[in-house]
A and B are shown apart, each in its own frame.
Chain A
């Protein structure tokens, strides 16, 4: 059984009846999510550059990023509509070069062969980037459409880039997965489909082009949770006030973010490697007829920590400010170790894992700023202050009090 375009249009209308949609920043991000990941060629290269810093193996395991963002999306989606012959269909194009607020749209499908348009829409990035998605002008699709062959449509509340089959998409019919559709759809079945589609989760979009198309009207459901990965590079004051130098660090973390309106809170769990450049020295004198000296020289090259950053923030357009704290636990170290007796070197080696002289726990307070460089990518800066003593007082009394560090981070929303 098959439907006519008119029937499908009616089904979609019923599914949308009475629903109000509001614009959400995540629209654009989720629109991007519909695109095949392999087309997002920038991110594999991004990670390919960033991740080697923490290890080539890590890079290999990580692979190219497939994440999409619902929290970092373009705010507006401009449409350009073209009239197509007698059907009064409009060609719809999505362009990021213009910014017009999407306020809403109704759906009217006039062709029973709607799937090619969806296929094109979902399978080809160019289908969105270029004006090949057709939208009927007969179904109140655009409330502000202008006359003429080419017109701009400002859509409020919701994007529904659907769709009328044009001759350019006839061939795509073969790609439609008809098995996913009910084979014997009557009126009740139609209602069922409409009902089902009314609650179709957006996450199904990647699996069923049929549902994908019809779920689009529900795109407006607000997403509160998102996951992200973050890579940071930091530089800070030396641990000891009597030592010249600074620390350098690289961190990799993942976390979740909860967004409520413009406020967000995010918590993460990550790993940090820091070039410490810390010299600690322990010397004991045993007096007797003369003196015997025993000395441990600890030259910490790197320290490794687990970080658990928690941030609260406020998002204004592409800008975000955040404050938070980062509890940390010292996992391990790498140091050059020398042991001397009466100034004679008895041991001289590189040691991993010793935490002598360190306090295991730390707490950094931070104030940060982020900028949405791309819809799902944030570039930011954190200014951090270490609030807890990192060195045992028995080893040094010259620890820098509340050393300041700065961190540049790049955050990629993963899902």
Chain B
């Protein structure tokens, strides 16, 4: 009998006495964080980061020189990408200043040209033989280049005058965005070579103006007078605005009185009546193989309402990544069929806010 008791008791004890390996403790599941739920042209659109291969990408990219902070739900085949343009381009990115309840406008398509780089726009066009235009380092053509897309462009012109003189200058052009440091350089040149320089614009907001002759610092006076002699001279004025915005412009003046000067490129900017793209939103999507964009539609009545903003994380770069809960109502145009559809949705997207 004892043997049976031994068997029945000891064997189970051996079973439970051995060291046990444990299974992994799993974290608690959570609800989807980033998602989009809405319609496109009446069809439902529901995307969730973490489902069907969807993930939430985010970042800041440059669109024609302007920072575009975007969040994108994508699985490679289907995506919804929504971003915000920077504003007040001469200042730091101010997307972080968005507040809950803010209503943003959709970036609309401009119906007019934003700039025409053409020698005929210059007052001394009769003395200009040819101009080769470069935009952001890329050659765009001679004599006439038209810019239709808003952006911050670095435009360079190689001017060849009829007397054979060649001169090149570069200027930044804020097209479709507010020029928060908006000015032009003016000068008066006397026959003896004396020249008087000043700036025109919203001078009441300027802190200072720095003048440079060639690459040499000249003065910080608002008005600058000097004698340049009998030469063709490039000079620049850098304006510091009270809000911290800075903008520099270059011109060329001709001490030889041969008409070989080059005016501020502002003469090539077209007057626009539509609203600028500062802090506007853009929406692009590819659903069922068809690509749509809000930039190709006027979108006057569209809106994006910021319903909530929450800090999601501090990323590896030390930048804040914010979760924006958005209520979007926009018009999109198909890139292939040209059909315009309304897209409405609520979404939570991630947006980085660089420090």
Secondary structure type dominating chain B contacts: loop
A261, chain B: closest CB distance, angstroms: 25
Contact A414 B8 (CB under 8 A): no
Cα distance A256–B107 when bound, in Å? 89
Asked whether B26 lies within 8 Å of A294 as measured between CB atoms, the reply is: yes
**Interface members, chain B 9-47 (any A CB < 8 Å):** 11-12, 15-16, 18-24, 26-34
Distance A415 CA – B342 CA, assembled complex (angstroms): 90
* Chain A residues near B24 (CB-CB < 8 A): 294, 296, 339, 346-347
Docked pose: A351 CA to B20 CA in angstroms: 7
Q: Which residue of the partner chain, among A227, A306, A352, A356, contacts B18 with CB atoms under 8 Å?
A: A352
Contact yes or no, B7 A252, CB < 8 A: yes
Point out the residues of chain B lying under 8 angstroms from A346, CB to CB.
24
> How far is A269 from B7 in the complex, measured between Cα atoms in Å?
11
User: Within the assembled complex, what's the spacing in Å between the Cα atoms of A275 and B30?
Assistant: 36
The interface residues of chain A, by DSSP majority, are classed as strand
B339 lies within 8 A of chain A by Cβ: no
B301 contacts A by Cβ under 8 Å: no
The interface size of chain A toward B, counting residues with CB under 8 Å, comes to: 45
Task: A303 to B222: give the CA distance in the assembly, Å.
Answer: 91
Q: Are B16 and A287 in contact (CB under 8 A)?
A: no
Q: Find out whether the CB atom of B54 lies under 8 angstroms from the CB atom of A331.
A: no
Query: What class of interface size applies to chain B in its complex with A?
Result: 35 or more
**B191 contacts partner chain A, Cβ-Cβ < 8 Å:** no
Contact A354 B7 (CB under 8 A): no
Query: Would A61 and B3 count as touching, CB distance under 8 A?
Result: yes
Q: Which of A8-16, A212-220, A278-286, A316-324 contacts B (4 or more CB under 8 A)?
A: A278-286
Chain A residue with the shortest CB-CB distance to B56: A289
Q: Which of A55, A289, A296, A331 is within 8 Å of B49, CB to CB?
A: A289
Cα(A100)–Cα(B21), bound, Å: 63
B26 touches A282 (CB 8 A): yes
Give the 9 A-B residue pairs with the shortest CB-CB distance, closest first: A291-B50, A353-B20, A290-B55, A289-B56, A332-B15, A284-B26, A254-B4, A284-B29, A294-B26
- CB pairs A–B below 8 angstroms (19 shown): A61-B6, A252-B8, A270-B8, A271-B7, A271-B11, A284-B27, A285-B29, A286-B29, A287-B32, A287-B33, A289-B49, A291-B32, A331-B15, A332-B15, A337-B23, A349-B21, A353-B16, A354-B21, A415-B1
B residues whose Cβ falls under 8 Å from a Cβ of A: 1, 3-8, 11-12, 15-16, 18-24, 26-34, 48-51, 54-58, 350
Residues of A bordering B, CB below 8 Å: 54-55, 58, 61-63, 67, 227, 229, 252-254, 269-271, 282-291, 294-296, 298, 304, 306, 331-332, 337, 339, 346-347, 349, 351-354, 356, 414-415
